[in-house]
Amino acid sequence: MAEDPLNQQAFAQDVEAAAAAGGPEGFAGAGPGHPDFKMPSAEEIWKLVESMDGISDAERDELRESIFNPKPPSPEDFMRQYGQPGHSSREYMIFFVMLALILLVFALFGYKLYKSLTEKELKKQEKLKTKQQKKSKKSN
């Protein structure tokens, strides 16, 4: 697009038209944060929807209903829009079983390591005892 002069010219014309429509400050000065901003009425929005091309009659009817008779959002709507999908109890069960298996494997390795270390310690003590007994027999 950078090397396309037609697109650049069309973009420049669009920017000029937007600035002219929004007054000297353009759209930036008349946005929702501006004190002179006026929210469009339902009729103005409906006129814009009617002028849109490519919308089916069913979509227009749905938009008309939502513009003129808005319904308060339900908790389901809120969860559908913002919430994460819920997890079933089966998924939680699988998660806890896997967690239990991992903990069991760690416990098994820990137990084997403990048992091995205590056996080595006992063998060391027995060896030391036998050495001391041999020394005491030699000194007698």
Tokens of 113: 């390591």
Alpha-carbon distance of 54 to 13, in angstroms, equals: 25
What are the φ/ψ torsions at residue 18 (nearest 5 degrees)?
A: -65, -40
Q: How confident is the model at residue 24 (pLDDT cuts 50, 70, 90)?
A: very low
Tokens of 119: 């056996």
Segment 58-79, tens digit of pLDDT = 888 888 888 888 888 787 777 7
**Structure pTM?**
0.36
Domain parsing of the chain, residue ranges = 88-140
**Percent of the chain, pLDDT > 70?**
79
Give the per-residue pLDDT at 99. 98
